[in-house]
Amino acid sequence: MLAYACAINMPHKLLISPSAVKQASISNLVDQSIWGKTDWGRDRYYYARKRYGDDRVPTILAALPPDAQVALVTTKTEGLLEEWIYHYLLGRPDIDFSVLSPELIASLIEGQQAAWETARRDYDYLLCMGGSCQSLVQHGYGTVEQEYTTEQWITILLRLVTPPAPE
């Protein structure tokens, strides 16, 4: 009964109709179901790997020290919903993830020193997703700890540092 229920889970579109279950072997149904693909739910990053085409989420999460303060940054219109931040939130419950306001993000991109001082005071890292990442890196207020770029997705983990003194 459990195998039948898992196989007919329509949101994952494993099967077209319940009659197809009768023609398939149980082991094939299990192997091809979301349960089989995720090792019965143990692979929490299955969908992240499928979306991004790499292991950026577990790698970035592994790089963060315990109890880090991380600001999530994106300038996409769809914002953080499009970036699938829940993998980060679920993967490391010991880390405090916060979302920066659009105004603060704009000030950081412009390189306003007061904005960067605020960010350095409140956060250890910026997790930047989307097109604004390179403009944040160019100001020299952080070091790139992790960087992933594909045709569609850009993700940079920026460790905030005190900028060098002007000469």
Q: What is the pLDDT of residue 15?
A: 45
Please check whether residue 118 lies inside any domain of the structure: yes
Please check whether residue 43 lies inside any domain of the structure: no
Model pTM score: 0.74
Residue pLDDT, tens place only, 135-153: 778 877 888 899 998 888 8
Q: Are residues 22 and 58 in the same domain?
A: no
Residue 156's CATH number: 3.40.190
Residue pLDDT, tens place only, 40-95: 888 888 888 888 899 999 999 999 999 999 998 886 655 555 667 888 888 899 99
Across 115-130, average pLDDT:
90
Instruction: Name which of 87, 48, 71 is nearest 128 in CA terms.
Output: 71
pLDDT above 90 covers a percentage of the chain that reads: 22
What is the domain extent for residue 25?
A: 2-37
